[in-house]
Structure 1
Amino acid sequence: MRIVTWNINSLRLRMPLLARLCQDTSPDIVCLQETKVPDSLFPLDAVRALGFGHIVFRGMKGYNGVAILSRQPVTVLEDTPDWCQRGDCRHIAVRHGTGADAIDVHDFYVPAGGDIPDPEENPKFAHKLAFVEEAREWFSGRDMRRTVLVGDLNIAPLEQDVWSHRQLLKIVSHTPAETERLLAWQQTGFVDAMRHFVPATEKLYTWWSYRNRDWSRSNRGRRLDHVWITPDLQPALRDMQVLRAARDWDKPSDHVPVMIDLDA
């Protein structure tokens, strides 16, 4: 099974890039974030033309939005919360397959949190912290097996997940308040599948700012996109790739896709 996760930063704008991604990688499941399209305008026909007969999505105009595209049947998991009671389309989950071989897939888009890393001064940052804490609490109460959690979690938790740990400690996405909460969420029953392949001592990024024109040369990246799995799936891990070349595609997202292969 090949799963790709990608913050596409507007699905309708970047449909040609999604087509290129699918042609290049032949994924079984694609999880998208920041689709930025209300459900009534979701490009179902164009996505089906890429070979995905099973599509679930939750979107709104101009902001947020998540979608899971699958070549095989999936069942929507209906027991997920309305995070922070905002109805802002940041999570969708499905069950792929049936019986003992089924795999649950969770697709998340965590709030970015604004620019000021102080929950008293910045309501967006307060929302981000509350969202991650609520997710940690919800998953800690679940008996999980054969589960994959992917998405733009908007936090780079480890020192080598950013270009400069020292300089970014007070920058939203790498502050201790965020990284400690994200790691606590991960510890509710997940393994960091990306770091299974790339040791925590090595740099690993999935996002490069639009503000830096020569993004590749400066390489001031952050790992904001993640793939977590439950430990029972760890023996099934076969490969992981950060598709860095996608950052140079025509009109790219500032995030690049992450691909994981499972013998499952």
Structure 2
Amino acid sequence: MRFVTWNINSVRLRIDLLRHLVEETDPDVVLLQETKVQDKDFPVAALQDLGLTHSLFRGIKSYNGVAVLSKHPLAEPGGHHWAGREDARHVLATLPNGVEVHSLYVPAGGDEPDPAVNDKFRHKLDFVDEMKSWFPANRDPKRPILLAGDLNIAPLESDVWSHKQLLKVVSHTPVETEGLTAAQEAFGWTDAMRTLTPAPERLYTWWSYRAKDWRKADRGRRLDHVWLSPGLDGTLRHMSVLEDARGWEKPSDHAPVIVDLDV
């Protein structure tokens, strides 16, 4: 079964790119973040045409928003409101084979990595800290669970173009990377991407719009992740980042991540 996660940066604006993605990768399940649309305006009809006949989404106007799009029926829909805010950052559902999928969008955190002066950064740290406790308290790690999305943190040195230059930049500060690692370890999540592309090999999923030639500059970060619960141990068969999508016309600044599981 093929899973794709992508911060699409507006599903309505980039519906043609989603169509291209589906045609190129033939996914069973697509997990989206930053859909930027209220639920009543979600482009359900267009998804039907793509064969993604089952969908679950949670959105608000103009920003945030998450979705699970599937060729297969979705059961047990849900989602959590993190860090005390109802801001459309999490949606989950269960597939017919019993795999539970979570689409998650962690706050970016603003520009200043100081929670005392930057409420956005404080919110991000609180969100990640709650991830550490929520999953062990509410989910059985023996259950087959896939968590994927834009976690907005690049935890490893080889997840960024310059570890030294980004240590004080939001997304790669020690307090963020240590917090994300603690959340991962608390539930026993496996980092699917780094399982098949181990460090220190370079691995990025995001390139800033600010770079005139993003590919030549290659100042990327791995902000998007796929985590597997212990219940999915031994099922991982393939992982790739569709970097070419960053070069599509009017692209998202994130590239899709593709994972194949034997489930």
1:81 aligns with 2:80: yes
What are the within-5 Å matches in structure 2 for residues 160-199 of structure 1? 160-187=158-185, 188-199=187-198
1:45 Cα shift? 0.3
Output one character per residue of 1:142-194: Cα deviation in whole Å (capped at 9) or x when no partner. 32221100000000001100000011000000001100010111112200000
Structure 1 equivalent of residue 145 of structure 2: 147
What one-letter code is carried by the residue in structure 1 that aligns with 2:182?
A: A
Structure 2 equivalent of residue 258 of structure 1: 257
1:117 to 86, 100, 113: 113
Q: Distance in 2 between matches of 1:108 and 1:189?
A: 17
1:218 Cα shift? 1.1
1:48 Cα shift? 1.0
CA contact (8 A) 2:35 2:64 kept: yes
Cα 1:204–1:233 shift into 2, 3 Å: same
Give the 3-state SS of the residue equivalent to 1:261 in structure 2: strand
Q: Distance in 2 between matches of 1:233 and 1:186?
A: 15
Give the 3-state SS of the residue equivalent to 1:94 in structure 2: strand
1:52 Cα shift? 1.1
Q: TM-score, normalised by structure 1?
A: 0.97
Structure 2 equivalent of residue 246 of structure 1: 245
Gapped runs of 5+ residues in structure 2? none
Runs of 4+, deviation exceeding 2 Å? none
Q: Distance in 1 between matches of 2:126 and 2:31?
A: 23
Structure 2 equivalent of residue 23 of structure 1: 23
Structure 1 equivalent of residue 37 of structure 2: 37
What one-letter code is carried by the residue in structure 2 that aligns with 1:204?
A: L
Give the 3-state SS of the residue equivalent to 1:40 in structure 2: helix
What one-letter code is carried by the residue in structure 2 that aligns with 1:206?
A: T
CA contact (8 A) 1:9 1:253 kept: yes
1:71 Cα shift? 0.4
Identity of aligned residues (%): 58
Q: Distance in 2 between matches of 1:226 and 1:192?
A: 7
1:238 Cα shift? 0.8
Structure 2 equivalent of residue 61 of structure 1: 61
In the alignment of these two chains, the number of paired residues is: 260
What one-letter code is carried by the residue in structure 2 that aligns with 1:117?
A: P
1:102 Cα shift? 0.6
1:43 Cα shift? 0.6
Gapped runs of 5+ residues in structure 1? none
1:53 Cα shift? 1.2
1:85 Cα shift? 2.0
Structure 2 equivalent of residue 138 of structure 1: 134
Give the 3-state SS of the residue equivalent to 2:115 in structure 1: coil
What one-letter code is carried by the residue in structure 1 that aligns with 2:103?
A: D
Structure 2 equivalent of residue 203 of structure 1: 202
1:136 Cα shift? 1.1
What one-letter code is carried by the residue in structure 1 that aligns with 2:151?
A: L
CA contact (8 A) 1:110 1:132 kept: yes
CA contact (8 A) 1:140 1:189 kept: no
Q: Distance in 2 between matches of 1:81 and 1:55?
A: 17
Q: Distance in 1 between matches of 2:90 and 2:250?
A: 26
1:140 Cα shift? 2.4
CA contact (8 A) 2:77 2:93 kept: yes
